[in-house]
Amino acid sequence: MVLNEPMAFVGAGYFLGVHAPGKRGRTNFVSAAHHAVLANAAGATIIRNHVTNAYIGTTLSLSLVTPFSNNTKDIEAAERVHELINNFFFFLCWEKGIL
């Protein structure tokens, strides 16, 4: 495992500001997420270069997201939240070959 639940430490530390380093906002989040994915890919490359037939990956924290109601706005909001908290790191890591 290269990184453990990047959304947890990036989201809580750089978007919500509830964990260290206590930063908030989209700009902080996107920058930290970018660097977390780069670090994850670099770590996977190092492992591949030193360990034959290694199983390399990361753990992702996923959450069930359900709309508050059947209202179109609630459904669309739930879809946006799902994309951010569940799919954001999944697809970035998948593209880098670390899942």
Report whether 98 contacts 86 (CB < 8 A): no
Q: Could you tell me if residue 64 is inside a domain?
A: yes
* Closest residue by Cα to residue 22 from 12, 36, 32, 35: 12
Structure tokens at 46: 């190092």
Q: Could you tell me if residue 46 is inside a domain?
A: yes
Instruction: Give tens-digit pLDDT for 51-86.
Output: 999 988 888 889 999 999 999 999 999 999 999 889
| Predicted model pTM | 0.80
Note down the domain range covering 36: 6-95
Q: Could you tell me if residue 1 is inside a domain?
A: no
Q: Could you tell me if residue 24 is inside a domain?
A: yes
Q: Could you tell me if residue 12 is inside a domain?
A: yes
Q: Could you tell me if residue 52 is inside a domain?
A: yes
Dihedral (CA of 96, 32, 48, 90) sign: negative
**Number of domains making up the chain:** 1
Non-local (6+) Cβ contacts of 31 within 8 A are 14
Average of per-residue pLDDT across 6-24: 95
Q: Could you tell me if residue 19 is inside a domain?
A: yes
